[in-house]
Every structure is written in C-alpha cells, then in structure tokens.
Amino acid sequence: MKEASNKEILIIGAGAMTRAIAHDLSGKSYHLSVVDRDRSALERLVDFLKYDHIRTHRADVSDPEACRGLFAGKDLVIGAAGYEYNYNLTGLAIDSGAAWIDLGGNNDVVGRQFTLDSAAESARVAVIPDCGLAPGMINVLANDATGRLDQVDELHFRVGGLPLKPEPPLFYGLVFSPDGLANEYFEPARIVTDGHVREVPSLSGWERVHFGPPFGVLEAFHTSGGSSTMVDTFAGRIKELDYKTLRYPGHLRRVKLLFDLGLFNKDEIELADGERVVPRNLFGSLLARAGWVKKDTVVVKAWAVGRRKEGRMRVDYRLIDEYDPATDLTAMARTTGFSASVVADMILNGTISAIGVLRQEVSVPADDYFAEMEKRGVRMDVTETRLQP
C-alpha cells in the first residue's frame, strides 16, 4: 500500500466545489490532479489555490476513453462535475483500480452506479456516491441517529443554501450549478411514509420552519435527490423519512410559477422565429447571468424520533455555516467540498475499509466524520430530548 504522501487523487471538474476539496486535500500531502475541458477554469483554480504541486489536465470528461490515461495509477477519483458523467466515470475508475466518490444528486444516476457493485468488489475498491452536503452530510446524520437510538421511527431533514440577505426576484441566488438546482426542482422526490417508499412532486409539501436566530421563519418543500439512498436503506425499518429544501419565505411561489410555465423542462421547443431552445438551459443561463452568491450561508435542521431504554427520544441537529473570508470559500463549497474531502481521506487512510458500492448512512463512521468536519470549522450542534410517552 502506498504511504499517504504518495497517494494519487484525481478530481473531475474545476468548479467552486473543487476549490474547497483541493484546498482541504492539498494540506494532506496527497498528489492532486484536476481535469476539466475549460482551460480558463483550470487556470482560475490554480490561481485561487496558490498550490504549486497541483497538476491540471484539459480533457472532455463526457468521453471516458479520453480520460482513461488520467485514471491510470490513481488511488481515488472524485467526481465534482455534472452528475450526468458519474456512471461512466465510476466504471472507468473501477476498471483502473481506483476508489470513486462524487457529489451526486441524481437518483437515477446513483441507482445505475449501484449496478456496478460486483465490479467494484472484484476490483477491491470503494465507490461512494452522493458525498456532498445533501445528499452527503445528512446521510451521515442518519448514521449518527441510528447510533444514538435503539429504534429510529422518523428521520426528517431540512437543508438550504441561501444568500446572507434575500433579494428579489426569487429571494435566492446561485450557490451551486443551475442545472443541479433545476434537477432538484423538476424531478420527483422520494420519501418514506408508513414504512413504504413513495414519490411525491418536487415543490410540494410546503411548510413553515421555525429555524431560530438569525433566520427566524423559513419555508421548506420537497425537492429531488436529497434523500439519496436513505429511502431504500430505511424503507420497512422506519415509519417516516423526508427531505425538504429550506428557502426564504416567498421563494416557492415564485419558482412554482416558472415551473408551471415549463422553464424547468428538458425537451427542446421551437420558438416563434424558428429558433430552438431547451427551457431548462434558458432558465439556468438567466439565473447565472443574475449572478452567483459569494457571501452565502448553509443551514441544516434535522431531527430523528425513536426509542431508547429510558423511553421515546428526539435527537435534533442544527448547523449554520457562512462564507469564510479567510479562505474565500463559500458556505456551500465548505459544507459540500469538505464533506467529500473528509470521506476521501477516510478511504485513503483506511478508516473506511469496506469495498463495493457503499451507502454513507451505513458505511461512514459518524463520530469520525463530524470530528473531522469540526476541525474544518463546520460544527453540527446536537441535542437530545426525552419525549412524553
């Protein structure tokens, strides 16, 4: 086995999340390489990191064969580009004998990755999809809850990436890929009710969430992808599991209008002048033109209800993270990128020794994970309350 200082990591994509991943892993003495088809994105990343030893490669990751040589000799590959590349690149990583993790976010793609379980076991490598914030960190929260309670009956997750101050027209600003956002709002959400898996429309299930200072009341609604593999892991074992996105009040009704007009559709349409356009691409371009949010915050409110020997218990989780001016990393990049880098480090240092395609809610040790996140300034507060019978 290679020593840690000799481990080779390849990161797919040179975007905002990679900034946090590479910033964190560059302090671990790993050999880092990043591939992206956009030369300017690679140059911006190198300029941001000011890390002399990172290697950059320009290639089109939509063609796995174009990347095969880059995967050779790598110990671990991190997918931080669009989720649409993850299945093919996971297969390439397995063929190359490299572990794979990614930021995920699409239920169908993750389902296809799990068909590679036998191949990953044969290659004796770990594959862990969805290693970001939500999915990602919240999966590890579920693991923590199952460790605290003898029986878990309910798991609820409310997560949002927000500008520090809401501004019109959507009371929102981009904190990650517009295509990823559209996917969350468009695809169906998966939940567990009465122990059974159900699909419900995204942008449904509106509720008020009393988050507390400094945000007060936020709104929450179903979105796709956040519950990830947890739905299948806990179906039949618990009564309820759901994931909802947090936003400032008023966001949902504005976005629902755009949804109803068809701006999240993926099918090409013809305009009156004969031009053809994909509505989702138009929406993403307009949102990106309005500007990315740099000074942002990530908020997490989650709770588990279950039983221990002393009776019924509730475990509450709360996190607020903000843009860090010292590193110039957004809260979304910190909570997403550091989550991925912590899992990557666990695989490479042997803390995670299982092989095959793994689910974080059963494979990532919660105590170790949250201790590492706290070292990076991302602190999850946990309280336990005994409920009345």
Range of lowest pLDDT (125-134, 185-194, 254-263, 298-307):
254-263
Half-sphere exposure at residue 8, Cβ-oriented, CA atoms within 13 angstroms: 12
Cα(79)–Cα(175) distance, rounded to whole angstroms?
Answer: 18
Residue 174: pLDDT above 70?
no
Range of lowest pLDDT (122-131, 274-283, 302-311, 347-356):
274-283
Range of lowest pLDDT (161-165, 203-207, 238-242, 347-351):
161-165
- For the chain, what is the domain count? 2
The 8-class DSSP code of residue 285 comes to: H
114 and 155 housed in the same domain: no
* Mean pLDDT of the 34-61 span: 91
338 and 325 housed in the same domain: no
209 and 355 housed in the same domain: no
Q: Tell me which amino acid residue 32 is.
A: L
Q: Is residue 227 within 8 Å of 187, Cβ to Cβ?
A: no
Q: Indicate the burial class of 358 (C-beta count within 10 angstroms; 0-12, 13-18, 19 or more).
A: buried
Whether a cis peptide bond, with omega within 30° of 0, leads into 325 is: no
pLDDT tens, 52-111?
A: 789 999 999 998 888 899 999 999 999 999 889 999 999 999 999 999 999 987 889 999
* Mean pLDDT of the 243-272 span: 90
Cα(171)–Cα(248) distance, rounded to whole angstroms?
Answer: 6
153 and 122 housed in the same domain: no
For 249, the token pair is: 């009040």
Residue 325's CATH number: 3.30.360.10
pTM score, two decimals? 0.92
Q: Which residues contact 362 (CB under 8 A, 6 or more apart)?
A: 143, 233
315 and 342 housed in the same domain: no
* Mean pLDDT of the 165-177 span: 76
Q: Which residues contact 348 (CB under 8 A, 6 or more apart)?
A: 4, 7, 9, 30, 75, 76, 99
Residue 108's CATH number: 3.40.50.720
Cα(16)–Cα(309) distance, rounded to whole angstroms?
Answer: 45
150 and 296 housed in the same domain: yes
Residue 2: pLDDT above 70?
no
* Mean pLDDT of the 306-330 span: 95
Sign of the C-alpha dihedral, residues 104, 180, 28, 75? positive
Q: Indicate the burial class of 207 (C-beta count within 10 angstroms; 0-12, 13-18, 19 or more).
A: exposed
114 and 30 housed in the same domain: yes
Tokens 């590479």 label which residue?
22
Sign of the C-alpha dihedral, residues 229, 134, 20, 112? positive
For 31, the token pair is: 């050999």
166 and 53 housed in the same domain: no
For 89, the token pair is: 């690149």
143 and 291 housed in the same domain: yes
Of 7, 55, 57, which Cα lies nearest the Cα of 29?
7
26 and 173 housed in the same domain: no
267 and 144 housed in the same domain: yes
CA dist list (Å): 68 to 30, 64, 89, 124, 208: 21, 6, 9, 19, 48
**361 pLDDT tier (thresholds 50, 70, 90):** very high
Q: Which residues contact 257 (CB under 8 A, 6 or more apart)?
A: none
Residue 297: pLDDT above 60?
yes
46 and 179 housed in the same domain: no
* Domain enclosing residue 30, as ranges: 4-133+333-373
